[in-house]
Amino acid sequence: MEQIHKRFTEEQVAVLLRGYCQGTIDRTTVEKTLEIGKSHFFAILGRYRRDQDKFSMVYHRQSPTRLPARIESEIEKELNLEKALVDDPSLPISGYNYSAIRDRLTKQGIEVSLSTIINRAKNLDCYQSHPRKKAHDREIITSAIGALIQHDASHHRWSPYAKEKWVLITSIDDFSRKLLFADFFEEETTWSHIQSAETLMHSYGIPLSYYVDSLRVFRFVQSRDSIWKKQVLATDDVDPQWKQVMKVLGVNVTYALSPQAKGKIERPYRWLQDRIVRTCAREKLSRINEGREVLKEELNRYNNHQVHSTTGEIPSIRFAQAKKEGNSLFRPFVLPKLYVSNKDVFCLREKRMVNGYRRISFFNREIIVPKVPLREEVELHLIPNMANNSLEIRIWWENQMVHSLFFPMSEFPRVHF
């Protein structure tokens, strides 16, 4: 259908609009005559009412029809960089993120629409059609902040310029969807997960429960008996070090039985992966400390500026509002009665028997234990310090600390903290 100004003169349209304004013609009649819809009618009516004497049906384009060559060049440059990342099998991204490209161009002072970038991507063979996904009902299963903390780790090559893979450990509040903890570690260990929990609890308090997968760091899982092998310990008969910390603090632990059950935290992971990998590649970052700076920026964007698709709110605002209304199951962090130091809560635990020489053996190292009777069992609290490569050992007997000492970690080469 031809445009209105090609089918009617401006005087004809003005007569119809004048009749509507005077009440002699109804809206339906005008729309049928001009063969337009309701929205189009009110758009024209607005122009007529603003200036009846200079009313015109000719549309004047406010922006140029073509982008300057410099902007076209920058779009092409960003799309080619994106294609190189998507084609690299060692990176944890598999699709194009045109929103991220638009954000990077905006930082350069280039304002273009998402549709413009997608059109250029199709012309440059930098486009993938998205397969139709099965609908997924996302919902909030808790009614207060601190009711459930989803905790997980992601081990990937986060930058094409990094020689090693880094581990991203995150904790997200189910109710607000706020990421309460996120940091890179060089490797995933029990100690790194304990440190993550310590940082979160010092910042926000002790939550009601944690939701984790069945990784051996969090749960002891034994295989079934067979005719060749009889298991002595069943699943959950032994508490891993991380779970022992949770028990000391009175935090419930729930386990996800499948990757699909971890969807709420997997989606923020994919979002962070897309953004972090692309930024690290663009800025040619190769060190984990540089990656932490990018993570900090993206964490701020996710928590403080982005409306969550499920809650319809910005996570930090939703979290703060719940806290203000007293809708929180976080408990203030208080040391259990037996302890006087955080070191005895957030630590690794081992048990040893004092021998006839009043010594214990710790990975082939003989340690003298004063003030403890022979043949008594003591509990060792181990606190690794990665910064100065030392290990503090605090020895407890009958609910009191009887000895503490420091060793270089090099003296325990077989121990993986």
CATH number of the domain that 316 lies in? 3.30.420.10
Mark which of 106, 123, 140 sits at the end of a domain.
123
Residues 319 and 172 in one domain: yes
Residues 299 and 159 in one domain: yes
Please tell me the predicted confidence (pLDDT) of residue 273.
78
Q: How confident is the model at residue 192 (pLDDT cuts 50, 70, 90)?
A: very high
Please tell me the predicted confidence (pLDDT) of residue 405.
93
Residues 306 and 158 in one domain: yes
- Asked if the structure places residue 60 within a domain, the reply is no
The continuous run of DSSP H or E covering 368 comes out as strand 365-368
Please tell me the predicted confidence (pLDDT) of residue 407.
92
Rounded Cα–Cα distance for residues 417 and 415 (Å)? 6
Mark which of 260, 289, 324 sits at the end of a domain.
324
Residues 30 and 104 in one domain: no
Give the max Cα distance, the chain.
112
- Asked if the structure places residue 348 within a domain, the reply is yes
Residues 167 and 293 in one domain: yes
Per-residue pLDDT tens digits for 203-212: 999 999 999 9
- Asked if the structure places residue 391 within a domain, the reply is yes
Mark which of 324, 357, 391 sits at the end of a domain.
324
Residues 91 and 29 in one domain: no
Residues 265 and 201 in one domain: yes
* Mean of pLDDT values over 345-353: 94
What DSSP state is assigned to residue 328?
B
* Residues in Cβ contact with 2 at an 8 Å cutoff, skipping those fewer than 6 apart: none
Residues 208 and 82 in one domain: no
The answer to whether 348 touches 381, Cβ cutoff 8 Å, is yes
Q: How many CA atoms lie within 13 A of 78 on its CB side?
A: 27
Q: How many CB atoms lie within 10 A of CB 30?
A: 18
As a residue count, the chain comes to 417
Please tell me the predicted confidence (pLDDT) of residue 316.
96
Number of domains the chain contains: 4
- Asked if the structure places residue 403 within a domain, the reply is yes
Per-residue pLDDT tens digits for 64-104: 567 888 888 999 988 888 888 888 887 877 788 888 888 88
The one-letter amino acid at 146: G
- Asked if the structure places residue 298 within a domain, the reply is yes
The continuous run of DSSP H or E covering 194 comes out as helix 190-204
How far is residue 103 from each of residues 47, 111, 183, measured CA to CA in Å?
A: 34, 9, 23
The one-letter amino acid at 131: P
**What is the domain range of residue 404?**
342-411
Q: What is the mean pLDDT of the chain?
A: 84
Please tell me the predicted confidence (pLDDT) of residue 268.
67
Residues 167 and 43 in one domain: no
Q: Examine the pLDDT at 315 and tell me if it is beyond 80.
A: yes
Rounded Cα–Cα distance for residues 281 and 100 (Å)? 13
Please tell me the predicted confidence (pLDDT) of residue 217.
76
Per-residue pLDDT tens digits for 301-314: 999 988 887 888 99
- Asked if the structure places residue 61 within a domain, the reply is no
Rounded Cα–Cα distance for residues 380 and 395 (Å)? 5
* Mean of pLDDT values over 402-409: 92
Residues 116 and 241 in one domain: no
Assign 321 to helix, strand or coil. helix
- Asked if the structure places residue 56 within a domain, the reply is no
Please tell me the predicted confidence (pLDDT) of residue 137.
46
Residues 261 and 369 in one domain: no
Per-residue pLDDT tens digits for 36-60: 888 888 888 888 887 787 787 765 5
- Asked if the structure places residue 297 within a domain, the reply is yes
Residues 346 and 407 in one domain: yes
